[in-house]
Structure formats: C-alpha cells, structure tokens
Amino acid sequence: MTDLLVALLAVCAVWTGWRVFRVDSMVRATFSLMLSFVAVGAIGVLLSAPYIGVATVFMMAVEMMVMAIFMVMFMMNPAGLNPMSMVHQHRVSIGAGVLAFFGLAAAILVSRPPSNPVAPDADVVTELGLELLGPSMLIFETAGVTLLATMVGAVILSSRQGRFGSADEGSRPPGLTEGGDPAGQRPDGGGGGHHHHGGHG
C-alpha cells in the first residue's frame, strides 16, 4: 500500500517537474515546481519523516510564492497567452539529462543498499531535535550563519548602489591592446557598436 502511494507520488513529482519546462506561462511553471516539492514532502511524510516532509511543503510554498513574484517581474509572458520556448543548446541539454538519468538509474539498479528501515515506533522528531541541539549543533549553527551571510549578500547585490556611489562609476575595462578598445561589449551600453579606432596612435 505504502509502496503504491510512494510510487504514485514519485510519478507525480517527476511529471510536475517535467511540466515546469513545458508549460507556456512562467507562473504556471512555478506552481508546477511547487507541486513537485509538495509530492516530495508527502513522500517524506509517508516514509516516516514527518518533520522533514511538512517543513519541505511549508518552505517550498513560501519559496515558490517569492519565485512567482520574480516571474511576473522579469518575464515578458507571465500570463501564458502565447507559446513560450526559450532554449539554447537544446540537443546537448536533452542528452545530458537523459545520460544523467540512465547513468544514475543503472547505478541504483546494480547496487544493493542495505535494507534497514526506520522502526515503526521510533521517535524520529525527538531524535532530530536532540541531534540538532546536541552532537550536530555546530553544523546547525553554521547553517544559520550561512543564512545570515546570504541575507547580507542578497541586500548588497540587489541594492542600487553602494555607500559611496556606484562602484564602477567612470571605470573602463582594459583594452585588448595598449590604448585599444576594450574586449566585448561596454557595460554602460553605448549602443550600436560605435568604436574609436586608433586611440593614441
């Protein structure tokens, strides 16, 4: 029974994961990804990891809401009114994905992992709490500090400018040759490939 439910949920997770790259609307893709996470969380609950499963669902629901907002901000086609396919190196990507799947699947089918399921009466949430605030406290706290650093980094990266104005104001990438034009496009746009040839001669 559990087997069947787990298999059903796994298929559901994979199918919604696949829909992420097939639907025409970015917002629909976001909710599809959320359904995939919810299915994984439900598998966690079924496989006697209630805390991890429920935490996954809650966290991913919030994360996907944030993602949906960014979708609407950045996408030209949030409503899915016309077909959307923005891909590059399509064949290589399909090949890499298929190769990864079959390689890992072969490894799974060949190997025999030990069969040692959780005892049905095990108090897994209590054990997790004792582990988090006991032997593995340093790891847990490191994760906390990492998240703090992430917050600081996200604010710095997305703020319009630094304390003393724009960091690259008046800067110019170095030239390919001495006094020559810089490589690639100018960061400040310029527009239309207007180049000064010769420089200092």
Partner 1 sequence: MTLTIVLLGATALVGIGLYGALSQQSFVMLMMGLELMLNGALLAIIGFWSLSLGGMPEGQLMAIIVMAVMAVELAIGFALIVAVYRKRQADVTESIDTLRQ
Residues of this chain, 24-63, that bind partner 1 according to CB under 8 A: 26, 29-30, 33, 36-37, 40, 43-44, 47-49, 51-53, 55-56, 59, 63
Cα separation, 183 vs 174, whole angstroms? 8
Using CB under 8 A as the binding rule, whether residue 70 contacts partner 1 is answered as: yes
Instruction: List phi, psi (to 5°) of 14.
Output: -65, -40
Which residues make beta-bridge pairs with 162?
165
Which residues make beta-bridge pairs with 34?
none
Rama region for 196: left / alpha / beta (φ>0; ψ in -120 to 50; rest):
beta
Interface with partner 1: number of residues (CB under 8 A): 88
Q: Which is nearer to partner 1, 51 or 181 (CB)?
A: 51
Tokens of 47: 């496989």
Q: Which of 127, 175, 195, 199 binds partner 1 (CB under 8 A)?
A: 127
Closest approach of Cβ 200 to partner 1, in Å?
24
- Residue closest to 71 by CA, chosen among 129, 119, 113, 32: 32
Instruction: List phi, psi (to 5°) of 72.
Output: -65, -35
Q: Which is nearer to partner 1, 81 or 108 (CB)?
A: 108
Tokens of 154: 């996200």
Cα separation, 200 vs 157, whole angstroms? 37
Using CB under 8 A as the binding rule, whether residue 113 contacts partner 1 is answered as: yes
Tokens of 137: 């406290």
Using CB under 8 A as the binding rule, whether residue 89 contacts partner 1 is answered as: yes
- Segment 178 to 197, residues that bind partner 1, using CB under 8 A: 183-185, 187, 189
Closest approach of Cβ 66 to partner 1, in Å?
7
Q: Which of 61, 65, 79, 131 binds partner 1 (CB under 8 A)?
A: 131
Using CB under 8 A as the binding rule, whether residue 148 contacts partner 1 is answered as: no
Closest approach of Cβ 99 to partner 1, in Å?
8
